[in-house]
Each structure stands twice: as structure tokens, then as C-alpha cells.
Amino acid sequence: MKSLFITATGTNVGKTHTTLKLIDTLAKQGLRVGVYKPVETGVKGSPADASLLLEAVQDVNPDFASLTTNDITAYTFPLPAAPYCADTKGIIDLQYIVDIHDNLLKKCDILLVEGAGGLMVPITQSYLMIHLIKELGASALLVTPSRLGCINDTLLSMMALRSFDISFDWCVNLYEDKESFSAVTKPYYDTVFPHWWDTEKGLEAFSKTLFA
């Protein structure tokens, strides 16, 4: 059993998009895939991201068939903000988040854990998303954008993961500024990270390394 934490350089970068594609890719390799969304904010009714993820997993893993979004999320909040800010009543229990992770891990070969926002998003006043990755003992997949300025965001996130000694790979969700990406950003990646990959072309190769 293995846990992979899907994180990003920030919000609206493509974590859910990437996680959904990973579910499909891993299932086609014969793996029982599970999913976990520890905290989702901006929830009005049913949690949108968790609903999409659960529906996808239920199609490929019967052990998740009877679960609801309440089973794959520890906390949901209506305010679209960092968990610490959205948690206006101070109810977040970090051990509860870990316990749900450990229980879901028993139902699958690999558990995909989708974070909220980026690595430095506060879950509590002193506990950040990157602390959760470390505590879960998960490896990470860093999803980065293709828009102007993404090099800086990507390098900062890499530095953070390395400073916490977290094993990670990274990919580009190539959708913003797609036309200018080849001139504005790609030359640097090609030179410094010649094996970089994007979510549309590299997920299958990446997924095969998870249990190598």
C-alpha cells in the first residue's frame, strides 16, 4: 500500500484534473486506486472536487463503492479560503485527518491524496500542507502551471519539498498561456530539467515508476 500526495504551486493549477487522470491511468494498470481529499473549502452543499474524485474511484475500486464524500474528506468548509481561515470555529483535529488517511489506505493499492492550494497553505496556525505530506509518509507529485511566472513558483515549491526531505516528481499542467509557453518557459525547463513532462503526455510513464 502506498500514498501519493498530489499538490501544486497554488490554487486552480490542476490538482483535481491530474488526480482524475491518474485514477484512470493507474486503474488501467490493474491497481486498486483510492482517493482522499483531507480538506475542501468553498463548499456549498456537496464538495465538488471530492465528488468528482469519489465517482471516478468507485468505477474502478469496489472497496470504495459504498463510501460517500463524507468518508473521503475529513473537513469541508463553506468559505473559499485556506483551511485555517475557513475553519472559523477551530474544529480541525490533525490526528483525525491522519486516521482517515490510514483507514482509506487499507482499501487500495495506492491512495491518491489531493491537497488544498499549495504546499505552504495553513491547515492550522502552525501546521502547513507540507507538514501533512511529511506526516503521512507520502511521496508527492507537484503540479505546476504553464502561465508566465511559473518558473519562480515551481522552483520555490521544489525547494520547499527538498527542505522537508520529501520524495517528489513534478509535471506541468499545460493549459494557461499555452501558445507562449514554448518561448517563455520551455527553454529553461529543457535546459535545467530535460526530463520534465506534462500531464497530457507523461502520466503513464510516471505511474509505472510508483511501484518500481
Give the C-alpha distances (Å, rounded to integers) separating 44 from 12, 61, 97, 130.
Answer: 18, 27, 21, 26
Residues designated as active site = 37
What's the grid cell of residue 157?
515549491
In whole angstroms, give the CA distance from residue 159 to residue 69. 33
User: Torsion angle of alpha carbons 96, 101, 103, 104, nearest 10°?
Assistant: 140
Distance CA 193, CA 175 (A): 20
Q: Give the closest residue to 141 by CA, choosing from 173, 163, 105, 109.
A: 173
